[in-house]
Structure 1
Amino acid sequence: MPVCRPLFAVRLTSLIITAAGGAYALFGGSSSEAAELPAKTLVYCSDASPAGFDPAQYTTSVEFSAAAYTVYNRLVEFEHGGTKVEPGLAQSWEISDDGLVYTFHLRHGVKFHTTSYFKPTREFNADDVVLTFERMRDPANALRVAYPAVFPYFNDLGLAKNLAKVEKLDPYTVRMTLNSVSAPFLSELAMPFASILSAEYAEQLIGAGKAADLNRYPIGTGPFIFHSYEKDATIRFDGNPDYWKPGVVRVGKLVFEISTDPAVREQKLKDNECQVMSYPRPADIASLSADPNLQMPHQVGFNLGFLAYNTTHKPLDNVDVRRALDMAIDKQAIIKSVYQGAGQAAVNPMPPTQWSYDASLKDAPLDPARAKALLAKAGYPEGFELTLWAMPVQRPYNPNARLMAEMIQADWAKIGVRAKITTYEWGEYVKRAHAGEHDAMLIGLTGDNGDPDNWLGVLLGCSAVHGSNFAKWCYKPFDDLIVKARETNDMAERVKLYTQAQHIFKQQVPFTPIAHSTVYQPLRKNVVGFKIDPFGPTQFWNVGLR
């Protein structure tokens, strides 16, 4: 399914709305009657354990699948399986003529989950929205003081500096004021980090001295209610009979069975022990597609797998060293062996289907001799040693990080660079990478909101050096372009600025783009309503069993 046109449409629509100061509304009020859910259990063979259930703290699809899109909602949502922004907990909104003030009119009758550990006494209202964003915005917020946490996406997107005020105008109206225009703002509010918390639950946890339980026992308004979690084994959810949007919840129970081994996940799928499976190995695509009991939807992935160089570590702070490492990597061999026909070589820090992508840019040719000369020029004629981190899990953008690391290790050995391959459990891997412990690391991103800033700002901006900017690269000529592009609604001007930024990226090589992959989703034949999320998480909205 091509992503390019819908993404452009989302951005253009948002621009028109912003410029006109218009209002947007879709669904009406919420249903107050509990639905009778089918007595069916859907089992998902997941590949990794979530580090927690507080979406604001995380940046990976593991937590987004297990929390953001099961337990929670946001003010605005991306349409199921698409990129268009539509109403969520806000049923309508207006944007001021100057693009700085967003007024959200909240949905009435939305209920928070009732569980063994929390029983709400009121429905969702403006207090919950204010708490959610003030916690990320204000270091003195009571919940943040009681439970200190970092919010990488909120910071990476520049919202920590740009979100000036979040105000409750009445129980069902919230006003957000920005310091400067932010073209992607509405799409950013549909991202998982903006999942709405219960202020009443937060107050209860603070009073009991258990604020950290927010990350262990989540409460939201979403389609599924958290039941239990056994690390590295099982997550259990109950369908939410009080969900505000009719028809979305189509099973009584949802279970995540966790296994890091894709062969185990595949066998469980074939044995009907699970009905949905994450991340098949490329080598297994043909056999899974041929199985008469399975279906295999797939689409071009809106993703990028890359190799980040920690530019705060010597000698990776030297651009000639980074260029040498980049031109020594045989990408075509990696595409053939790692992606096995389900990927294409990446050139830029965003996929070709992203608007503003500059197709004129090319990779430096594979040239070990030239790479050795660059190392000598940089003062390393005999090469050097470094750590090369390989992800412990499979992702659409990298189906076999260990093999990729071994191939890069062999390529670098030809120019005298001695790489020690290192890995950690997934949550620890990401945590240590945010802290900058790596030299070079394999990582990637599946786009979150369809805006170029999601790639260039989140992966390479100065505000993201403690978050998803794993290159730890803060380069003012580049960052100035990104900030300027974020602060204008002129589409042509944004394209021009992002094009200039991509040229700087290719000159400075803070990371080596490796590949964009095709996403395959194995399902049992009796699964209905499933759509591949272009932004990566596995969602179970509207998913049922025949």
Structure 2
Amino acid sequence: MTSFSRLALASAVALMAGLGAAQAQTSATVAMQLEPPHLDPTSAAAGAIDSVTYSNIFEGLTRFASDGSIIAGLAESWEISEDGLTYTFKLRDGVTFHDGTTMDGEDVKFSLDRARAEDSVNAQKALFTAIDTVEVVDPLTVKVTLSEPNGLFLFNMAWGDAVIVAPESIDDIKSTPIGTGAFKFVSWSQGDSIQIEKYADYWGEPAMLDSATFKFISDPTAAFAAMMAEDIDAFAGFPAPENLPQFEADARFQVLVGSTEGETILAMNNKRPPFDNVKVREAVVHAINRQSVIDGAMFGLGTPIGTHFAPHNPDYVDLTGVSEYDPAKAKALLEEAGMADGFETTLHLPPPSYARRGGEIIAAQLAEVGITAEIINVEWAQWLETVFRGKDFGMTIISHTEPMDIGIYARPDYYFQYDNAAFQELMTKLNGTTDPDERSTMLKDAQEIIANDYVNGYLFQLAYPVIAKAGLKGLWKDAPTQAVDLTAVSWSE
């Protein structure tokens, strides 16, 4: 072989290798612990749906940025009337759904009317109760009139439950979602993964990845093995925090530890005896050493909370002292409630590590004061069916990752079934208040009411550890909403 031939061959091999590397860097596989039950964010409470679809597939009039701020989405601008009742949204021009049809004012009206309809199955229907009418002024202008001012209306429209959908997509939306986002749905291998790819006609900044895969790995040991073997490129919400030091010491990886909106709670069924007795609920709360739960289940990751509110919010009140660890007080309260010998109940635990690991610790702590909690491990779909919808439980552990969601305590039919007329009245007043100082005062009052009613055991604010290969950039460090937003993710050159 001549020198020229060798050089040409070497160049060809190098070029092919370079092309292969380039092709390998146009996609990413991101793992999550929970698989969504379906893919319609407007008809279920499962946060895993938003994790896959938020911004990637579906978009709303407004949206959450990575820092939690509210920015323009499908509405490029809006005007608010002086009385705070009318919002006139100017929609972006040239937006299409992934099936090629145009997104316009009629789709916005359909989506909002569907969410607030009497027969709506939207898990956050309360977000839309203030809407009185939705009027299409022209294809790119929609006027929404409220029955009363709502200081959180633009915030509410950023939720995954408020995304804009097309009427013709509804029949198959759970299995074949069609949105307006930077990625379009390709396929779903149930029990394994979901494939998405860049939408070529996206109205905004195009996705940097050509395609992406969401991989579902529920077992923490398997999650660690898959990441170390580099079978996946990132794991959002890594479920084995004890392994973080190993990744931090490995140059192949980067470790991002942020916060979430996730209040992790020991929820109690307030209508089921004996939890309908506030003394029993208080006894349960005082039996729990939340720092031991954080250390044992999360290896120190997590901020203790004493109410259902995120500590990073300026209006947060530290009420951990109201529910401090005091087993002697817990026993005394049980005696006052006529349960000196304790009682038996159930503790339903969904798959996340904070629940399964934390549940073992909490069950042991409750046993020390005479409360026997039968641990029932359930899969996510089963938890949604039996606990969330069926309300068939004594206690459960769950992290509420929706932003600013203290309003759920004003819904007596919500799964933990707390019914307090004064709290409901306070939330109604809060929703109609736009003055920041007045809203701040009311939010602080709300936190104190539920803390002093011992509605649930407030454990910790969920941390958000993300493990990724060193070259992957653009992942959210914090999770201001339930989202694994891949729209700005790319590989370093």
Matched, 1:428 2:396: no
Count of residues paired in the alignment = 467
The residue that corresponds to 1:380 in the other structure is: 339
Matches within 5 A, 1:144-155: 150-155=121-126
Taking the aligned partners of 1:83 and 1:371, their CA distance within structure 2 comes to: 38
Alignment of 1:14-93 (within 5 A): 40-79=26-65, 81-93=66-78
1:55 aligned counterpart, secondary structure:
coil
Q: Paired residue for 2:459, among 511, 514, 521?
A: 514
Deviation digits for residues 54-101 of structure 1 (CA, Å, limit 9, x no counterpart): 11122333110222332111111222x122212111111111111111
TM-score (ref. length: structure 2): 0.90
> d(CA) in 2 for partners of 1:481 and 1:54?
32
In 1: Cα distance, 2:183 partner to 2:45 partner: 21
Say whether residues 1:528 and 2:482 are aligned partners. no
Work out the CA distance in 2 between the residues paired with 1:234 and 1:500: 44
- 1:545 is aligned with what amino acid? W
SS at match of 2:291: helix
Supply the AA of the counterpart residue of 1:60.
A
Q: How does 1:6-405 map to 2 (within 5 A)?
A: 40-79=26-65, 81-114=66-99, 120=100, 122-139=101-118, 150-155=121-126, 157=127, 159=128, 161-202=129-170, 211=171, 213-246=172-205, 248-280=206-238, 281-359=240-318, 362-394=321-353, 398=354, 401-405=355-359
| 8 Å CA contact retained: 2:48, 2:482 | no
Q: Distance in 1 between matches of 2:319 and 2:64?
A: 31
Rg bigger for which structure? 2
Q: Secondary structure at the match of 2:279?
A: helix
Pairing 1:544–2:484 present: no
CA-based RMSD of the aligned residues comes to 1.9
Q: Distance in 2 between matches of 1:175 and 1:485?
A: 23
Tell me the equivalent position of 2:406.
456
Matched position secondary structure for 1:296 = strand
Which 5+ residue runs of structure 1 have no aligned equivalent? 1-36, 115-119, 203-210, 449-453
Aligned amino acid, residue 227 of structure 1? V
Deviation at 1:457, TM superposition (A): 0.4
Task: Give SS of 1:431's match.
Answer: helix
1:222 Cα deviation from its structure 2 partner: 0.6
Q: Secondary structure at the match of 2:282?
A: helix
Compared CA separation, residues 361 and 483, structure 1 to 2 (3 A) = farther
2:423 is paired with a residue whose SS is helix
SS at match of 1:332: helix
2:106 aligned partner, one-letter code: D
SS of aligned partner of 2:323:
coil
Q: Pick the aligned partner of 2:398 from 443, 449, 464.
A: 443
SS at match of 1:134: helix
SS of residue paired to 1:135: helix
> Quick one: distance in 2 between partners of 1:370 and 1:85?
44
Q: CA deviation at 1:364?
A: 3.4
CA contact (8 A) 1:127 1:199 kept: no
Rate the CA distance shift 1:360–1:73 in 2: closer, same or farther, 3 A. Answer: closer
Look up the SS of the partner of 1:56 in the other structure.
Answer: coil
Secondary structure in 2 aligned to 1:217?
A: coil
Letter in 2 for 1:253: S
Q: Report deviation, 1:219.
A: 0.6
Please state whether the residue corresponding to 1:362 is helix, strand or coil: helix
Whether the aligned pair in 2 keeps the contact of 1:232 and 1:259 (CA below 8 Å) is: no
- Counterparts of 1:200 and 1:325 in 2: how far apart (Å)? 49
1:39 deviation in Å? 7.5
Match of 2:16 in 1: none
Change (3 A) 1:514 1:495: same
Supply the distance in 1 between the matched residues of 2:181 and 2:348 (Cα, whole angstroms): 36
Q: What do residues 331-375 of structure 1 show as CA deviations (whole Å, max 9, x unaligned)? A: 222122112121232112112211221236623342222222211
- Aligned mates of 1:287, 1:276 — CA distance in 2: 15
CA distance in 1, matches of 2:81, 2:75: 17
Which runs of 5 or more structure 2 residues have no equivalent in the other structure?
1-22
Task: Tell me which residue corresponds to 2:432.
Answer: 487
Structure 1 residues 364 and 84 mapped into 2: Cα distance closer, same or farther (>3 Å)?
closer
Q: For residues 84 and 402 of structure 1, what CA distance do their matches in structure 2 show?
A: 32
Give, in angstroms, the shift of residue 447 of structure 1: 4.2
Letter of the 2:483 partner, please give it: P
- Distance 1:183-1:38 versus aligned 2 partners, 3 A rule: farther
Look up the SS of the partner of 1:83 in the other structure.
coil
Q: Residues 315 and 321 of structure 1 are in contact (CA less than 8 Å); yes or no, is this contact kept in structure 2?
A: yes
1:361–1:503 contact (8 Å) kept in structure 2: no
Equivalent in 455, 465, 470 of residue 415 of structure 2? 470
Name the amino acid aligned to 1:178.
L
